[in-house]
Amino acid sequence: MIPRFVTLEGGEGVGKSTQLKALAEVLRARGPAVVETREPGGSPGAEAIRSLLLQGDIDRWTGEAEALLFAAARSDHVTRTIKPALDRGQWVLCDRFLDSSIAYQGMVGGLGVEAIRRLHAIGSGGFLPDRTLLLRLDGDEAAARTRRRDADGADRFGARDAAYHAGIAAAFDRLAAEEPERFRVIDAAGEAETVTKRLLAALEDLL
């Protein structure tokens, strides 16, 4: 089976982390070895940067500094985790990747899409997923899930207001519309098992 790099994207509270684990188990039952990873993080260097990005006040970093930190973490992640796994013939499932930086820092953060793509070209050679699964959920339901998840305290992104998160959802929708060959938009509403089946169906042509 050809190794594949698959990313799960979407705003806060849509269930990416939960679904990544479930999808990985289903895929393993189908045959491929699967590496589960995340951004920011996924390698020792990137995990160190993760704490800098997620902890502290909302305004801890300027938009430019934030984008540079994400690009640095991604560069280490691609070099030390993702590409080696693919070279071993494994599938890689990643919770967030470049599209999150484009949506959060590029579109909503105002740095511009091309600026983020240039950073990615420098840090990660423009490396892209084989398939991106965009989980979509009604804003009110996503907010309710986020509150439950963050009962003990939100990170710098989860703590932002409803208008910010609506902008993020719209940014992801735009990205999916611009690259329909790579993206598949998945309804994240309903039972978790049902959502997992939708994700698997969106990968059938790659299996």
What does the pLDDT average to over 20-36?
Answer: 95
What does the pLDDT average to over 153-163?
Answer: 69
User: Which pLDDT score is estimated for 148?
Assistant: 67
**Helical residues (DSSP H) of 34-112, grouped into ranges:** 44-54, 63-77, 83-87, 98-101
| 87-115 residue pLDDT tens | 999 999 999 999 999 999 999 999 999 99
User: Which pLDDT score is estimated for 122?
Assistant: 97
* Cβ contact 131:6 at 8 Å: yes
Best CA proximity match to 167, nearest among 124, 106, 92, 116: 106
| pLDDT value at 74 more than 90 | yes
End-to-end, the C-alpha distance of the chain in Å comes to: 7
pTM (predicted TM-score)? 0.91
> Bigger pLDDT: 145 or 129?
129
| pLDDT value at 152 more than 80 | no
User: Which pLDDT score is estimated for 158?
Assistant: 62
- Helices 16-30 and 192-201: crossing angle in degrees, nearest 10, is 60
Average per-residue pLDDT in the chain? 92
**Alpha carbon distance 168, 187 (integer Å):** 16
What does the pLDDT average to over 26-32?
Answer: 93
Taking phi over 0 as left and psi of -120 to 50 as alpha, with beta for the rest, 116 belongs to alpha
User: Which pLDDT score is estimated for 201?
Assistant: 97
| pLDDT value at 159 more than 70 | no
User: Which pLDDT score is estimated for 3?
Assistant: 97
Domains in the chain: ranges and CATH: 5-206 (3.40.50.300)
